[in-house]
Structure 1
Amino acid sequence: MRPVWRSTQSCAASCSSRGPDSASQFGVKARCVVGRGAYVGTGVRIGNNVKLQNYALVYEPAELGDGVFVGPAVVLTNGHNPRSVDSDGRQKRGGDWEAVGVKVAEGASLGARSVCVAPVRAGRWAMVAAGAVVTKDVLDFALAVGVPARQIGWVGRSGVRLVAREGEPDVWECPQTGALYEEKDGVLTERRAGPHSCPAALCGQTGSGRGRGPVMNRALAPAHGRGL
């Protein structure tokens, strides 16, 4: 097992030092950070702005969407019934089983030492707690904890746990950004903001009707160098 990069650095810097084909060899896009001792298998597909923390193990054919966070020592497996030898005692080779992958959708976070047992999918902006073992799909925006992982709530894009909005059934609100989400049939979606309907802190709308322009939400910035 060979680490792709041995020290924390940007993907762009590593790829430039290894030649123009380095990024494409591993299916890595732009502005990714890979920690010390992390392993990325050949054939893994990684989107933009992905962070792989130290000693994360990502086995092919995993797929990581844009903005995914993979915490320290996270494991993404690729075999549902792994064996070193077959029923006759002969050592298995690469072609003796069909690899299955883990898919982690846009913006999702996998906490330190969590394990995703393939084949599973972590949905958009989902949050898997540290040490959790994921054995079934995690919904978009779901907060999953435990062994095996189970959903205990919802999180927004900022990663903060959502709270029920008073007076509006099945509507959830981010206490940090004010963003609203709607739940229907057990599925959470973002509420699309109409004109002047978004929180003033987000759009910069003033009482006079004059916009101040977009306000950067610091909660959406990645926490560099920290585990989850």
Structure 2
Amino acid sequence: MTKKHSKKYFVHKTAIIENDVQIGEGTKIWHFAQVRRGSKIGKNCVIGKSVFIDFGSEIGENVKIQNHAIVYHKAIIEDGVFIGPNVCFTNDKIPRAINPDGTAKSADDWHVSTIRIGEGASVGGHTVLLPGITIGKFAMIGSGAVVTKNVPDYALAYGNPARIKDFVCRCGKKLNKIGENEDVVLTKCSCGIEIVIPRENYKLKDESNPPAGGKKRIWIR
């Protein structure tokens, strides 16, 4: 176990930082956190109490990871991401402790799938992220969600399984549709920012929210 204190970044004396870990200037790593070998953490990040960051994980700049979050091997977290408390990244689509013959499985037959969280996205507390998914830029995942599929940029998704309920601005507020064509939907936030959403992504909202009676909307071109 190594404990590092420098003018460039702060590591609490109870945190465990393994060898070959890169930590950016201004980052703070708090009580009982564990960062395993080969991980990279960018500048000005906050790693909360009892956070676990597995080996080979990549974390960008200005990232906040709240208490007790678990970030497993091969996770990629881009700049400006918020990870709420007790969020769990998973990475094995077929988890087993033993082989069919009863022998213990080893790392040699462990097939890991990467989870990527896009720039500026937020993942609410107690969310479970299944292997191999991508959360888009500035997307927002509601607390307690179980995310089984990719979530596009700016989407608001929640539930078990998580479904796309709306689209949100970079500031986090709801986007309102102000125009559209066959390819895109133009949206605007009350803060004044306009964002273009590909129609193929915007349709996911309608598919997740059928009108009363359970029937999906019929699109007329």
Gaps of 5+ in 2: 24-37, 203-221
> Match of 1:90?
103
RMSD over aligned CA atoms reads 2.6
Matched, 1:114 2:90: no
Match among 9, 12, 24 for residue 9 of structure 2: 12
Q: Decide whether aligned partners of structure 1 residues 128 and 91 sit closer, same or farther in structure 2, where only a CA change above 3 A counts.
A: same
1:160-212: CA deviation from partner (whole Å, max 9, x where unpaired): 121223xx34321112x110112332247xxxxxxxxxxxxxxxxxxxxxxxx
Q: Distance in 2 between matches of 1:84 and 1:116?
A: 20
Structure-2 separation of matches of 1:163 and 1:85 = 51
Question: Is the CA contact 2:79–2:119 (under 8 Å) kept in the aligned structure 1?
Answer: yes
Give ranges in structure 1 of 5+ residues lacking alignment.
6-10, 189-228
Identical positions, percent: 35
Q: SS of the counterpart of 2:22? A: helix
Is 1:100 the counterpart of 2:113? The answer is yes
TM-score normalised by structure 1 residue count: 0.71
- In the other structure, the counterpart of 1:183 is 197
Aligned to 1:215: none
TM-score by length of 2: 0.74
Task: State the shift of 1:146 in Å.
Answer: 0.6
The corresponding residue for 1:50 is 63
Q: 1:120 to 1:20 in 2, by over 3 A?
A: closer
1:210 corresponding residue in structure 2: none
RCO higher in 1 or 2 (8 Å CA, sep ≥ 6)?
1
| Residue 80 of structure 2 corresponds to residue 67 of structure 1 | yes
> For the Cα contact (< 8 Å) 2:20–2:39, is it kept in 1?
no
User: Do structure 1's residue 142 and structure 2's residue 139 form an aligned pair?
Assistant: no
| Residue of structure 1 equivalent to 2:186 | 171
Deviations 1:128-148 (A, max 9, x none): 110011111000001111111
> Aligned pairs, how many?
178
1: CA distance, partners of 2:201 / 2:130 = 23
Tell me which amino acid in the other structure corresponds to 2:98.
V
- Report the 3-state secondary structure (helix = DSSP H, G, I; strand = E; otherwise coil) of the residue aligned with 2:10: helix
Displaced runs of 4 or more, over 4 A:
17-21
